[in-house]
Structure 1
Amino acid sequence: MMSLHHIQNVCFATSGDQQWRVSSWLQDVCSVPLGFQGKLYMLRRPESNGAQPEVVQVDPPQQEDVDFGSPLLPPPKFVAKCPQGDSYIYYLVECNSEILVISPQYLVEGGHKYSVYRLADVVLERNVPLTCINGSTLFLNIARSLCVSSEAFPTIVADTIVAHNTTAEYSVGQYHLKSGTSSAASFECTEGSATPSPCSIFTCCFREHWLVNSFCIPITVLLIVTVPFVGIFIVSK
């Protein structure tokens, strides 16, 4: 399966297909779909103002069209409603072989506070925020979010969330889950500087800081491709 950011259809193909097929339904989502274990997970926009987004799941093609004998893509099915928060923005991230739901909160004094939940707990309505994610760091971005192990990158701080901080004095900040405090990321790029980029794990994850001839490269569209029973590929174009 393949889902394109800001495109409401999902493309899919099965073994032996010579071309992509397009889903008969449209998706009204508020986040980039997450490929996980051969399925797509996404956040569906609430039907009413003030309501929380819903986590929905798209399974691989399993049925066949009676008239054409071709597979059909099942429509998204409800998984869980996101925990109550004061923002309509939520994130889905795969971390340590499970899906996490992240809810940001904008602070009056600047910066952000984040609540992290296991999707498995949210399904059971056990909305207890995590203070530890096994030493990992979550990088949040509207184009794509990912989890990085502090064992693989010793320079990052364990159990933190790294994201843009547009309301604070630093542009890339890290939020410490256990202490509930924020600080500048270990590496700080100055907006508009001519620093060779990407120059660290932080600027690799936030391509707004990539510079060519002193001009920032805009965020590009990400394609998320899920091949059932084979694996997940992230293709940047």
Structure 2
Amino acid sequence: MSPVGGRVEVGEAPARHRTRWPLLAVAAGVLGAFATIVMDVHVAEADGGMTLDRVDDVSVVKARVGFAVGYVVVALLIVLAAAWRRHVEPRVPGSTAARVVSAGLGASAAALTLGYGWRGAMGIYGEGGPEDEEFDRTARYVYYVLNDFGAWIGWLGVLVAAFAIAWMALRERTVSRWIGWISVLAAGAPTVAMAVMSVPGMPALTMPFWLVVAGLGLTFGKSTITR
């Protein structure tokens, strides 16, 4: 308020500053789903399953695109972990869960570096790649096997981060509760599936999409850690 000519005028309240760093999670999720799922290098199933003779059916174009976009995802996860440590951890110094989030993101970044790296190697040495004469078909089959779950298992760290955010939401009340319940569902379903079927790549089916939802929720919602 300010006096003007004996009157008191009420000025407009300053606009609320909206945090933007959680949008890194949205970008990592969208690109992660594309690099891992859409650019997956599995060949169409046939009678007898995958054999050595079919390894040259792998699309080297998909492998190289998945590799390139995947490394962008790795970079985004690293920056997201650093932003979380800067903006969130100082606000909740007594929260172990908050530190688990950044550790989980970092673990996934490290694992996905290998997973997407093997995708890139398949794009180089696969049939039609720039160095497809460097290795024979048997050696290329080894790279195919590495790619079977290579870019999928690395999402486990993000799954652990999702459980940590669920704890922060439902126990510590520093994150919106709806984000906590979404986190429980997104992380719980692949956890049960892994326990029952022993398929290590399950987190990749939900974690990229969880990053999108959680990132938007933290950006536009009313969580304590981002207000």
Bigger helix fraction: 2
Bigger strand fraction: 1
TM-score, normalised via structure 1 length:
0.22
Higher RCO by CA contacts (8 Å cutoff, separation 6 or greater)? 2
Larger Rg: 2
